[in-house]
Amino acid sequence: MSGDLPSAILIAGPTASGKSALAIRIAQAVGGVVVNADSMQVYRDLRIITARPTLEEEASVEHCLFGHVDAAVNYSVGLWLADAASAIADIQASGRAPVLVGGTGMYFKALTQGLSDIPAVPEDVRARVRAQAVGLSAQDIHARLAAGDPLTASHLRPTDPQRNLRALEVFEATGQPLASFQGRRQAPMLAAGTWRAIFLAPERAELHRRIDARFDAMMEQGALEEVRALGARGLDPLLPAMRAHGVPGLLAWLGGEQSQGWVTREAAVERGKADTRRYSKRQFTFARHQLPDFPWAASGEEAFGLLEATRD
């Protein structure tokens, strides 16, 4: 790559699209540092099942914010934004470019458009809401939110307990719907016009093939043992790390929860693949509607060329 370096290079895209390889290639080309922007790859307990860069990949160029959070932590976009701000400042101070890569669209939106100005939730309120949710299904949590905050509940999926719990926490702490705060935004960390971005978007059938093949490879590399170790910690099943794609099905099979339908290893693996494929569809939808300044590229080669062209 030639030309002046932007303040940051942002690489978004669905899971299994080849983002990590592209980020490494770009970081090597510009003398940059790869910074994680994926909400599951922050957890140190889950290197394999979240497809974090391998030790060899991490050794090829500097990486940061990968595996730096314990699975017991309820990590959030706000916490990531604070960590990213510190990492980006350090990288820029060294005269290098941060290359942010990941599949969490909300992280990129917060970085470039500003985080919603939502009041902080006191820890005692957060703990109480979480304690009340223990043993409830995702649908039950959504119903509880709908009873108190129907406005926010109408915009959230009943199958997303984390976001529903977050909305419940804000409602309990403030008495106001979470949706009422979401139009207010803090100034973005990265000023418009100073960064370059791409959304890596392979053809869907090929992406699904990669997702399935990668899940099989992760199982061969020790994903089951990794999930077994996570389950042995006895953590709250509603924590984000406990809901990483592949984890719920494998835990259910390991625990013999036949009432959940995961009576075989094959069924648990298929659930992990299907959950990941569905998630990739949501990633496309989010990018289409929420990341308008991210040009789409069908391949890593095309993405590299587009990013290079924006610097000429």
Q: Which domains, from first to last, does the chain contain?
A: 8-117+193-205+284-309 (3.40.50.300), 123-180 (1.10.20.140), 207-279 (1.10.287.890)
- What pLDDT does residue 2 have? 47
Contact assessment for residue 103 and residue 15, using Cβ atoms and an 8 Å cutoff: yes
Rounded distance, CA 158 to CA 173, Å? 21
pLDDT grade for 310, boundaries at 50, 70 and 90 = low
Q: What angle do CA 188, 151, 40 make, to 5 degrees?
A: 50
Mean pLDDT is lowest, of 8-17, 100-109, 139-148, 272-281, for 139-148
Distances (CA, A) of 176 to 27, 157, 158: 44, 20, 20
Rounded distance, CA 77 to CA 289, Å? 19
Question: Residue holding tokens 């919603």?
Answer: 116
- What pLDDT does residue 279 have? 96
Rounded distance, CA 52 to CA 57, Å? 10
Count of C-beta atoms within a 10 Å radius of residue 166: 22
Contact assessment for residue 195 and residue 10, using Cβ atoms and an 8 Å cutoff: yes
Question: Residue holding tokens 């942010």?
Answer: 100
- Give the length of the chain: 312
- What pLDDT does residue 171 have? 83
Query: For residue range 246-271, what is the model confidence (pLDDT) as tens digits?
Result: 999 999 898 875 445 556 889 999 99
Check whether 179 has a pLDDT greater than 80. no
**Helices (H) and strands (E) in the chain — how many of each?**
13, 6
Spatial CA neighbour of 137 closest among 163, 169, 159: 159
Find the mean pLDDT for residues 150-163.
Answer: 84
- What pLDDT does residue 258 have? 46
Judged by phi (left if over 0) then psi (alpha if -120 to 50, else beta), residue 200 lies in beta
**Count of alpha carbons within 13 angstroms of residue 176, beta-carbon side:** 10
Question: Residue holding tokens 């036949």?
Answer: 258
Find the mean pLDDT for residues 197-206.
Answer: 97
Check whether 210 has a pLDDT greater than 50. yes
Find the mean pLDDT for residues 216-240.
Answer: 95
Find the mean pLDDT for residues 240-247.
Answer: 95
SS3 category, 127: helix
* Helix%, strand%, coil% for the chain, nearest 5: 55, 10, 40
- What pLDDT does residue 152 have? 82
pLDDT grade for 124, boundaries at 50, 70 and 90 = confident
Which residues sit opposite 292 in a β-bridge? Answer: none
> Cβ neighbours of residue 242 under 8 Å, at least 6 residues apart?
71, 230, 235, 236, 248, 251
Contact assessment for residue 106 and residue 18, using Cβ atoms and an 8 Å cutoff: no
Check whether 182 has a pLDDT greater than 90. no
- What pLDDT does residue 184 have? 67
- What pLDDT does residue 64 have? 98
Mean pLDDT is lowest, of 88-97, 143-152, 258-267, 274-283, for 258-267
- What pLDDT does residue 224 have? 95
Spatial CA neighbour of 68 closest among 36, 114, 100: 36
Find the mean pLDDT for residues 8-15.
Answer: 98
What percent of the chain lies above the pLDDT cut of 70?
Answer: 94
